[in-house]
């Protein structure tokens, strides 16, 4: 049992840090330190392309698809240095963390050729259209319908329905959809996983304003929206399996690099506490110590998860990771406000716009909702981790 990374990995860390810092102090100086997902979308698309041009976009992918074939350790290191350098989050995170890996795992060779290089180059931005007004935690009850129309070489999918909470749909090129393609089917059966171009008449996107005043997510209306017949991943009716594979990606490796971003947030709170004197309050000191402990434990939990060589067993650290970080960050938001006091409740901007810490307080309420709510996580942990009986359904 060892804590650190190998000497070779540490050299790689230096290389990452040097390159990232150089970009952030030069051509992309203007986007350094942005934390809001919706800020400066055009510049951040340029940043995606810049990463792609220098092969830093999807380093874990095979070289032939625009990656570097980087090891897991190297991917973690890159993600850590990325956040440490103050580089804003990836606007194409659905493309690089969900769409790409899903295509890599389940896509055809043709789909790989078609999509992977463009995702890696930052040219194709994806969003995720899973949730619907009546299908949230109970995702398998989606109602959006898809049917194949036409014949011969001219078949295409025609999709009707409504998606909701679609993050960054307004700046995306493609949307990942799960649609019901078998008439009369129920639950996880009869669903198909589709990729659809957004720029078409059949798709209308309307922003939804969030509690922090920002509008990161959207309603997505699909009215005879179309995509070619070969836009499905996996087989017809296999959409649930593909979507669950994809959610596993979302819950796994992709969340690791976040931690350095969390480090930056906690450091900002520590600085604020020292500056305004809150650092002398014994209760605040206890809470900051708890936050510090929680952050370190997340790091070592993640390292445990990644050091695991036997992936056939359900690893406790992996199963509990989502709720752990989500709850930690929600508590961090509350701690930030406790440190700031009433000064945190006013903004010096003309619009309803917030600095990093008050925004953290508001935004972190979403962390315990998306990607499986805390309650759903507890169900999963109890059922998969502890072997307890499954929740009964009301409609069976």
Partner 1 sequence: MEFAFTDEQRMIQETARAFFTENATSKRTRLAMAGDGIDRALWTAFCQDLGLSGIGIAENAGGAGLGLVEMAIIAEMAGAQVAALPMLGSLVLSAQAIAAGGNSAQKRDLLPSILSGARIAGYVHDAELRTDGELLTGGCGFVAHGGSASLFVVTCNDGAWIIRADAPGVTVTPLTTMDQTRPYARVLLSGARGEPLAEASAAITAAHRAGFVALAAEALGGAQSCLDRTVAYSLQRVQFGRQIGSFQAYKHRLADMMIEIEQARSAVYWAACAVDEGSDEAALAVHAAKSFAADTFFRCAGDMIQLHGGIGFTWEHDAHLFFKRARAIQTALGNGAWHRAQIATMVLGATV
Ligand X SMILES: Cc1cc2nc3c(=O)[nH]c(=O)nc-3n(C[C@H](O)[C@H](O)[C@H](O)COP(=O)(O)OP(=O)(O)OC[C@H]3O[C@@H](n4cnc5c(N)ncnc54)[C@H](O)[C@@H]3O)c2cc1C
Residues involved in catalysis: 250
Q: Which of 105, 247, 279, 362 contacts partner 1 by CB under 8 A?
A: 279
The entry of ligand X, partner 1, none that residue 217 binds, CB within 5 to 8 Å by partner kind: ligand X
Helix, strand, coil shares of the chain as percentages rounded to 5? 50, 15, 35
Cα dihedral 9→12→17→18 (10° resolution): 150
- Encoded one letter per residue, x for contact with partner 1 by CB under 8 A and - for no contact, window 349-378 reads --------------------------x-xx
What would the x/- binding string for partner 1 be over residues 42 to 81, using CB under 8 A?
------------------------------xx--x-----
Number of residues this chain uses to bind ligand X (CB under 6 A) = 19
Each residue 368-387 as x (binds ligand X by CB under 6 A) or -, in order, gives -xx--x-xx--x--------
Pairing mode, if any, of strands 126-129 and 145-149?
Answer: unpaired
User: From the list partner 1, ligand X, none, which binds 264 (C-beta under 5 to 8 Å, kind-based)?
Assistant: none
CA dihedral 48, 126, 228, 186 (to 10 degrees): 160
- Sequence-distant (≥ 6) Cβ neighbours of residue 71 within 8 angstroms: none
Which of 136, 207, 245, 252 binds ligand X (CB under 6 A)? It is 136
Among 54, 64, 143, 285, binds partner 1 (CB under 8 A): 285
- Which of partner 1, ligand X, none lies near 128, with the C-beta cut-off 5 to 8 A by kind? ligand X
* Beta carbons of 305 and 371 less than 8 angstroms apart: no
Q: What six digits make up the tokens of 237? A: 């009716």
Task: Answer whether 207's CB lies under 8 Å from 220's CB.
Answer: no
Q: Which of 88, 301, 333, 372 binds partner 1 (CB under 8 A)?
A: 301
Considering only residues 208 to 267 of the shown chain, the ones binding ligand X according to CB under 6 A are 217
10 binds partner 1 (CB under 8 A): no
Residue 376's binding partner out of ligand X, partner 1, none, with CB under 5 to 8 Å set by partner kind: ligand X
User: In this chain, which of 40, 160, 162, 307 binds partner 1, going by CB under 8 A?
Assistant: 307
Query: Locate tokens 């007004």: which residue?
Result: 133
Instruction: Let me know how long the chain is.
Output: 396
Shortest spacing between CB 246 and ligand X, in angstroms: 11
Nearer to partner 1, 63 or 383 (CB): 383
Helix (H) or strand (E) holding 258: helix 258-276
The verdict on 137 binding ligand X (CB under 6 A) reads: yes
Q: Which helix (H) or strand (E) holds 49?
A: helix 41-53
Greatest Cα pair distance, the chain, in angstroms, is 74
Which helix (H) or strand (E) segment is 100 a member of? helix 100-106
Reading the block at residue 178, the tokens are: 């799960």
CA distance 242 to 191: 10
* Cα Rg, the chain, nearest whole Å: 22
3-state secondary structure of 359: helix
What residues line the site for partner 1 (CB under 8 A)? 1-5, 72-73, 76, 270, 273-274, 279-280, 282, 285-286, 288-290, 292-294, 296-297, 300-301, 303-304, 306-309, 316-317, 319-320, 323-324, 375, 377-379, 381-383, 385-389, 391-392
Contacts with ligand X, residue ranges (CB under 6 A): 127-131, 136-137, 165-167, 217, 366, 369-370, 373, 375-376, 379, 391
């Amino acid at each position: 049992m060892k804590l650190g990374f190998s000497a070779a990995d540490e050299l790689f860390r230096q290389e990452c840090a040097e390159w990232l810092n150089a970009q952030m102090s030069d051509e992309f100086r203007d986007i350094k330190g942005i934390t809001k997902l919706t800020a400066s979308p055009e510049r951040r698309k340029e940043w995606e392309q810049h990463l792609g041009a220098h092969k830093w976009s999807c380093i874990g992918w095979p070289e032939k698809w625009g990656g570097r074939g980087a090891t897991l350790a190297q991917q973690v290191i890159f993600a850590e240095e990325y956040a440490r350098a103050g580089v804003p989050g990836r606007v194409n995170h659905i493309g690089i963390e969900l769409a790409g890996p899903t295509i890599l795992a389940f896509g055809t060779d043709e789909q790989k050729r078609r999509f992977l290089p463009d995702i890696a180059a930052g040219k194709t931005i994806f969003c995720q259209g899973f949730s619907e007004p009546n299908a949230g935690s109970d995702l398998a009850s989606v109602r959006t319908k898809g049917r194949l129309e036409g014949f011969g070489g001219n078949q295409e999918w025609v999709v009707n329905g409504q998606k909701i909470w679609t993050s960054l749909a307004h700046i995306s090129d493609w949307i990942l959809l799960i649609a019901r393609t078998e008439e009369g089917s129920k639950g996880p059966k009869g669903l198909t996983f589709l990729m659809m171009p957004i720029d078409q008449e059949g798709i209308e996107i309307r922003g939804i304003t969030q509690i922090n005043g920002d509008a990161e997510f959207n309603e997505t209306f699909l009215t005879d929206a179309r995509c070619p017949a070969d836009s499905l991943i996996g087989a017809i009716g296999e959409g649930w399996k593909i979507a669950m594979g994809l959610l596993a990606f979302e819950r796994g490796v992709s969340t690791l690099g976040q931690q350095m971003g969390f480090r930056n947030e906690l450091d900002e709170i520590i600085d604020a506490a020292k500056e305004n004197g809150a650092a002398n309050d014994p209760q605040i000191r206890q809470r900051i110590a708890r936050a510090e402990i929680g952050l370190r434990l997340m790091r070592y939990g993640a390292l445990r998860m990644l050091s695991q060589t036997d992936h056939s067993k359900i690893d406790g650290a992996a199963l509990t990771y989502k709720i752990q970080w989500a709850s930690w960050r929600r508590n961090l938001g509350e701690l930030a406000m406790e440190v700031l006091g009433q000064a945190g409740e006013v903004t010096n901007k003309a619009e309803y716009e917030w600095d990093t810490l008050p925004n953290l307080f508001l935004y972190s309420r979403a962390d315990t909702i998306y990607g499986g709510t805390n309650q759903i996580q507890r169900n999963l942990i109890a059922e998969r981790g502890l072997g307890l009986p499954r929740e009964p359904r009301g409609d069976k």
